[in-house]
């Protein structure tokens, strides 16, 4: 949910197609919707006031978890962060607003997730490369990442502790019938999802979320529990460096006002070395680490070798090895019987 240095000059983008999906190029994986009604603040307010998540999603799709409240006792959810994002609920699908950088981030994070999952021997076809993949998007907000992943064929579950975020995500999803069978939303935390869903998902995504959680290690552990053995964890977050403080907080928040002041807390940023250590000590193997750079003039992201500000990481849940204790015990017992017989 991080908003870094955004564009220094505002450009007027051409009108996109209804869903903004193309095979390549800028905006290929952004969830644009040109329906003017959806951009209306009044329309969104009415949607929050009168539209609840459909009974099919809340009751008939497995009851993955219970609705959460604004104030929660969750170990990973920070109530201060929830209050901040509650104030921005209506802004998720404003591609020129405070989440514009996240809209642009889809252009590299979606292919990053797609290509790695396709390389892990899942059966897929050209039109739906992620068909058959069960994917969890933790801290999904308004569904900016869930929608393009769903259009790639994945069965996506988006969760967020803020119920109003989930209502906005469900409302936006309703404009695209294709997403009905691919994307579902639930208002809950990842800890609440663990019970009854151990080893359930092929992949878990936590994009721009880690820097907002209260307990990173507990969060990582909960993600581990819901992943299948050999499943993938995708993370994008912010490094804890002087440069990240300058760009993400001083420039973006205090000087340019691109992000509301207080969006980020530098103390919650996490160096990749520390994140790798936490992951490896909790049963993951880190397979990829890449730096990311945002260009405020073009409004686009690209991959770089330097991870001093933003970075993406892919880790895999280790496959539990069979313990040889039983075999060893049987062998010892057999040896003991042979010894007793020889006596």
Residue 339, pLDDT score: 44
- d(C-alpha 90, C-alpha 66), whole Å: 23
Q: What angle do CA 59, 79, 50 make, to 5 degrees?
A: 40
Residue 234, pLDDT score: 98
Residue 196, pLDDT score: 84
303 token code pair: 């991959």
* Dihedral angle over CA of 205, 106, 212, 253, nearest 10: 170
**Is residue 291 a known part of a binding site?**
no
**Is residue 334 a known part of a binding site?**
no
Over residues 143-167, the mean pLDDT reads: 97
Taking only the tens place, the pLDDT of each residue in 263-316 is 788 889 999 999 999 999 999 999 999 999 988 778 899 999 999 999 999 999
- CATH for the stretch 36-342: 3.40.50.150
Question: What are the distances in angstroms from CA 340 to CA 328, 329, 331, 335?
Answer: 18, 16, 14, 9
Residue 75, pLDDT score: 78
**Is residue 160 a known part of a binding site?**
yes
* pLDDT over 80 (residue 151): yes
Taking only the tens place, the pLDDT of each residue in 56-80 is 444 444 445 544 344 445 678 878 7
Nearest to 314 by CA among 219, 207, 234: 234
* pLDDT over 90 (residue 335): no
Question: What are the distances in angstroms from CA 215 to CA 202, 212, 222?
Answer: 23, 9, 11
At residue 25 the predicted structure's pLDDT band, cuts being 50, 70 and 90, is very low
* pLDDT over 60 (residue 225): yes
Residue 50, pLDDT score: 46
pTM score = 0.79
* pLDDT over 80 (residue 26): no
At residue 247 the predicted structure's pLDDT band, cuts being 50, 70 and 90, is confident
- d(C-alpha 46, C-alpha 56), whole Å: 21
Residue 319, pLDDT score: 79
The residue ranking higher by pLDDT, 125 or 129, is: 129
**Is residue 212 a known part of a binding site?**
yes
* pLDDT over 60 (residue 3): no
* pLDDT over 70 (residue 14): no
- d(C-alpha 213, C-alpha 246), whole Å: 21
Query: Per mean pLDDT, which range of 32-36, 84-88, 215-219, 292-296 is the poorest?
Result: 32-36
> Where exactly are the structural domains of the chain?
36-342
Over residues 253-260, the mean pLDDT reads: 76
At residue 326 the predicted structure's pLDDT band, cuts being 50, 70 and 90, is very low
Residue 46, pLDDT score: 54
At residue 12 the predicted structure's pLDDT band, cuts being 50, 70 and 90, is very low
Residue 106, pLDDT score: 98
Cross-strand pairs, 206: 235
Residue 120, pLDDT score: 86
Q: What angle do CA 174, 83, 269 make, to 5 degrees?
A: 100
Over residues 20-44, the mean pLDDT reads: 51
**Is residue 95 a known part of a binding site?**
no
At residue 333 the predicted structure's pLDDT band, cuts being 50, 70 and 90, is low
* pLDDT over 90 (residue 328): no
Residue 74, pLDDT score: 67
Residue 242 burial class via C-beta count within 10 angstroms: exposed 0-12, middle 13-18, buried 19 and up = exposed
Question: What are the distances in angstroms from CA 153 to CA 119, 126, 150, 341?
Answer: 15, 10, 5, 63
Over the chain, what is the mean pLDDT?
A: 79
Cross-strand pairs, 291: 304, 311
Q: How many residues does the chain have?
A: 343
At residue 175 the predicted structure's pLDDT band, cuts being 50, 70 and 90, is very high
**Is residue 139 a known part of a binding site?**
yes
Nearest to 168 by CA among 92, 249, 273: 92
Over residues 218-242, the mean pLDDT reads: 97
Residue with tokens 């990053």: 112
**Is residue 96 a known part of a binding site?**
no
Residue 24, pLDDT score: 36
- d(C-alpha 3, C-alpha 294), whole Å: 10
DSSP-derived secondary structure letter, 77: B
294 token code pair: 């945002």
Q: What's the distance, CA 157 to chain centroid?
A: 10
- Could you give phi then psi for residue 295, rounded to 5 degrees? -100, 110
Please list the alpha-helical segments (H only) found in 119-253: 146-151, 163-173, 190-194, 216-226, 242-244
Residues with Cβ within 8 Å of residue 12, at least 6 apart in sequence: none
């Amino acid at each position: 949910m991080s908003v870094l240095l955004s564009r220094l000059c505002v450009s007027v983008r051409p009108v996109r197609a209804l869903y903004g999906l193309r095979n390549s190029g800028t905006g290929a994986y952004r969830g644009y919707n040109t329906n003017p009604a959806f951009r209306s603040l009044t329309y969104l307010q009415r949607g929050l006031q009168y539209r609840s998540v459909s009974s099919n999603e809340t009751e008939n799709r497995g009851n993955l978890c219970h609705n959460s409240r604004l104030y929660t006792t969750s170990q990973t959810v920070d109530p201060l962060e929830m209050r901040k994002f509650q104030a921005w609920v209506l802004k998720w699908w404003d591609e020129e607003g405070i989440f514009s950088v996240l809209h642009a981030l889809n252009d590299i994070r979606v292919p990053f997730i797609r290509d790695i999952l396709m390389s892990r021997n899942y059966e897929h076809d050209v039109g739906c490369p992620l068909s058959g993949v069960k994917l969890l998007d933790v801290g999904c907000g308004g569904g900016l990442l869930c929608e393009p992943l769903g259009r790639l064929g994945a069965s996506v579950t988006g969760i967020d502790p803020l119920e109003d975020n989930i209502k906005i995500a469900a409302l936006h999803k309703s404009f695209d019938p294709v997403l009905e069978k691919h994307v579902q939303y639930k208002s809950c935390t990842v800890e609440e999802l663990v019970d009854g869903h151990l080893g359930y998902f092929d992949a878990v995504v936590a994009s721009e979320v880690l820097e907002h959680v209260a307990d990173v290690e507990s969060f990582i552990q909960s993600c581990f529990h819901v992943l299948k053995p050999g499943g993938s964890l995708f993370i994008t977050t912010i490094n804890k460096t002087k440069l990240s403080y300058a760009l993400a907080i001083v420039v973006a928040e205090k000087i340019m006002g691109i992000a509301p002041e207080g969006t980020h807390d530098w103390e919650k940023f996490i160096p990749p070395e520390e994140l790798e250590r936490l992951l490896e000590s909790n049963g993951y193997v880190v397979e990829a680490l890449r730096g990311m750079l945002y260009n405020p003039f073009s409004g686009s992201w690209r991959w770089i070798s330097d991870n001093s500000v933003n970075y993406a990481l892919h880790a895999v849940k280790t496959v539990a090895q069979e313990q040889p204790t039983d075999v060893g015990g049987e062998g010892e017992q057999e040896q003991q019987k042979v010894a007793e017989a020889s006596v």
